[in-house]
């Protein structure tokens, strides 16, 4: 709103008295007066919001004073147009909230989300296997064969996944892996009645998920400093526990209300959505120029030939012989095998165990099976904070990794031993023991799973590919063997507990004797 100001010279609210002359008659209605010159100027007001006009009067000096006041008022009241634009621009730059996060945090967050979906697609069959067995008349051996088929592809893809992550970068390998396993998951209902076809889909799921750990390890090794590494590994691989919880939580009601086919459709769709959303994440992990495979914008044929030569040379440059001459690498291999035996057999068979031993229905058995991975989420955060804190305080990295991995092995071994003995424990106490033991096994994320990056950031993805290949064998042998032993002995203690206890104890001995986190060059001369 604008105020029109009119001021008299004497600053009075009234007109000055007229000056009479001698020849002026007193009765003359027309009086000759003398006024100072009026000046008009305009100024904005911040206090008046109604449309009205005020006429005041001022002199030249008042104009200058008021002009200075107006300028100050305008500066205080009305924001500059550029300032408004900057504020709006700043608001847009800060939305969404994670837009200004460092790139490594975005990659770690999305990778962890991929691992959530990964285990959702892994555990969905452990729940769906119960109605599938009833529908198609499968015994425990056949059910074990179907569940173990996932690990055939998982084992086969470990070394190729590690090499591809090193050559192409963990980001590209991860996004292709998610797409492959998600599409294969959605195909399960179409081929469930044809056993070879069903096995093929689960193999493809295993291949897609098998390249993911190496891709994640490549991202962590190249973008996360040592003092943050335990937390990064825990956050990424902790997504597996979250995925197990969500899969076991949502799969039973989906199966009971919509049929077992729907769980594969919905979980597969989640992976496809993740893949599409991941395309909008700008940038990728930083890789040395000598380790990057890029296609030039010039001659495409020549670019592919150059890339193939680089790929071939990258395979030859890997010091395979030096890997297998290292005692620390062998310790990682055996420890990975031992930990995977207990983890995969329990992951596949616990819902069936709780259903048969506790006489629970499908939903109740799944909800009880949630407890170990749910507790693992909290244990993982504590273990990672403890490990990073000890390293930052100067404790030797090898010592920290040995402590964490020993806890990860001995805790489930003790709890399984108590559960397998005939101590007269009620079923819910056995559930508590298994929950505690399997949750504490998550200390491995601050032990074994950090050692690959510790000893060689350059070859971390390939080293994980080696150990994870051997670590996938229990998924093939252990899961199927558990079903076979269950059919022949009808004893959960012999089929599920006894082998896991043995490998946990022997793995502890080997780890304490030979494990090391000291950086190694793996030169062929050594």
169: left (phi over 0), alpha (psi -120 to 50) or beta: left
Q: What percent of the chain has pLDDT over 70?
A: 72
Q: What pLDDT, in 10s, does the model give residues 490-508?
A: 888 888 899 999 999 999 9
Residue from 234, 102, 217 nearest 169 by CA: 217
What's the pLDDT score for residue 282?
A: 60
Q: What pLDDT, in 10s, does the model give residues 335-380?
A: 999 999 998 888 788 878 877 776 777 677 777 878 888 888 888 8
What's the pLDDT score for residue 56?
A: 43
Provide mean pLDDT across the span 470-478: 87
Long-range contacts of 292-300 (CB under 8 A, 24+ apart): 292/169, 293/167, 293/168
Give 194 or 89, the one with higher predicted confidence. 194
Yes or no: say if 185 and 168 are a contact pair by the CB < 8 Å rule: no
Give 171 or 175, the one with higher predicted confidence. 175
Mean of pLDDT over the chain: 76
Provide mean pLDDT across the span 41-56: 45
Provide mean pLDDT across the span 275-297: 54
Kindly indicate the confidence band of residue 55, based on its pLDDT and cuts at 50, 70 and 90.
Answer: very low
All residues at 6 or more sequence positions from 106 whose CB lies less than 8 Å from its CB, including other chains = 98, 281
What's the pLDDT score for residue 244?
A: 82
Provide mean pLDDT across the span 429-453: 89
Kindly indicate the confidence band of residue 154, based on its pLDDT and cuts at 50, 70 and 90.
Answer: confident
Q: What pLDDT, in 10s, does the model give residues 116-146?
A: 998 898 888 888 888 888 888 888 888 888 8
All residues at 6 or more sequence positions from 21 whose CB lies less than 8 Å from its CB, including other chains = 32
What's the pLDDT score for residue 498?
A: 92
Give 457 or 30, the one with higher predicted confidence. 457
Give 229 or 341, the one with higher predicted confidence. 341
Provide mean pLDDT across the span 261-272: 93
Prediction pTM value: 0.62
Q: How far is CA 88 from the centre of its chain?
A: 31
Kindly indicate the confidence band of residue 512, based on its pLDDT and cuts at 50, 70 and 90.
Answer: very high
What's the pLDDT score for residue 102?
A: 67
Kindly indicate the confidence band of residue 164, based on its pLDDT and cuts at 50, 70 and 90.
Answer: confident
State residue 356 phi and psi, 5-degree precision: -80, -45
In angstroms, the CA 209 to CA 186 distance is 15
| Alpha-carbon distances of 511 from 200, 323, 413, 436, rounded to whole Å | 36, 17, 15, 22
What's the pLDDT score for residue 303?
A: 42
Q: What pLDDT, in 10s, does the model give residues 287-332?
A: 443 343 333 333 334 444 444 455 555 566 778 888 899 999 999 9
What's the pLDDT score for residue 315?
A: 61
pLDDT at residue 5 tops 70: no
| Alpha-carbon distances of 411 from 90, 235, 244, 339, rounded to whole Å | 51, 22, 20, 12
What's the pLDDT score for residue 476?
A: 83
By residue count, the chain amounts to: 526
239: left (phi over 0), alpha (psi -120 to 50) or beta: alpha
What's the pLDDT score for residue 201?
A: 93
| 3-state secondary structure string across 174-195 | HHHHHHHHHHHHHHHHHHCCCH
pLDDT at residue 521 tops 50: yes
pLDDT at residue 31 tops 50: no
Q: What percent of the chain has pLDDT over 90?
A: 22
20-24, 406-410, 436-440 — which one is most confidently predicted on average?
406-410
pLDDT at residue 409 tops 60: yes
| Alpha-carbon distances of 56 from 14, 63, 154, 267, rounded to whole Å | 11, 12, 88, 76
């Amino acid at each position: 709103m604008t105020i029109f100001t009119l001021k008299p010279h004497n600053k009075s609210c009234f007109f000055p008295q007229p000056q009479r002359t001698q020849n002026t008659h007193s009765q003359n209605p027309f009086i000759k007066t003398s006024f100072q010159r009026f000046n008009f100027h305009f100024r904005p007001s911040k206090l008046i919001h109604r449309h009205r006009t005020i006429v005041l009067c001022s002199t030249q000096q008042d104009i200058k004073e008021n002009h200075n006041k107006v300028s100050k008022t305008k500066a205080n009241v009305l924001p500059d147009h550029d300032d408004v634009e900057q504020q709006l621009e700043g608001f847009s730059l800060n939305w969404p909230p994670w837009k200004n996060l460092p790139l490594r945090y975005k990659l770690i967050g999305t990778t962890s989300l991929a691992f959530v979906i990964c285990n959702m697609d892994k555990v969905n069959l452990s729940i769906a296997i119960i109605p599938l067995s009833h529908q198609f008349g499968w015994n425990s051996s056949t059910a074990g064969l179907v569940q173990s088929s996932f690990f055939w592809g998982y084992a086969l893809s470990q070394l190729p996944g590690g090499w591809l992550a090193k050559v192409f970068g963990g980001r590209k390998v991860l996004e292709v892996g998610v797409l492959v396993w998600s599409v294969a998951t959605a195909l399960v209902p179409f081929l469930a009645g044809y056993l070879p076809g069903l096995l093929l889909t689960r193999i493809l799921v295993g291949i897609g998920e098998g390249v993911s750990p190496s891709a994640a390890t490549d991202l962590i090794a190249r973008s996360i400093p040592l003092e943050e590494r335990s937390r990064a590994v825990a956050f990424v691989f902790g997504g597996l526990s979250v995925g197990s919880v969500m899969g076991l939580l949502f799969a039973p009601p989906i199966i009971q209300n919509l049929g077992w086919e729907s769980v594969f459709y919905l979980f597969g769709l989640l992976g496809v959505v993740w893949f599409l959303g991941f395309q909008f994440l700008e940038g990728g992990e930083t890789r040395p120029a000598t380790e990057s495979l890029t296609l030039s914008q010039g001659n495409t044929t020549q670019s592919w030939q150059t890339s193939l030569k680089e790929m071939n040379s990258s395979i030859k440059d890997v010091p395979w012989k030096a890997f297998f001459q290292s005692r620390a690498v062998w310790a990682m291999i055996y420890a990975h095998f031992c930990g995977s035996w207990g983890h995969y057999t329990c992951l596949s068979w616990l819902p069936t165990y709780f259903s048969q031993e506790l006489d629970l229905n499908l939903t109740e058995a799944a909800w009880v099976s949630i407890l170990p991975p749910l507790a693992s989420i909290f244990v993982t955060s504590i273990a990672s904070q403890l490990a990073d804190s000890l390293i930052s305080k100067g404790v030797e990295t090898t010592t920290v990794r040995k402590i964490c991995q020993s806890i990860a092995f001995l805790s489930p071994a003790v709890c399984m031993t108590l559960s397998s003995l005939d101590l007269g424990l009620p079923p819910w106490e056995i559930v508590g023991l298994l929950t505690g033991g399997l949750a504490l096994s998550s200390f491995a994320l601050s032990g074994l799973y950090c050692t690959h990056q510790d000893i060689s950031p350059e070859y971390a993805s390939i080293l994980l590919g080696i150990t994870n290949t051997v670590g996938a064998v229990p998924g093939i042998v252990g899961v199927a063997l558990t079903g076979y032993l269950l059919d022949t002995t009808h004893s959960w203690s012999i089929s599920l507990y006894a082998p896991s206890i043995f490998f946990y104890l022997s793995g502890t001995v080997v780890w304490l004797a030979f494990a090391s986190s000291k950086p190694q060059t793996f030169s062929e001369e050594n």
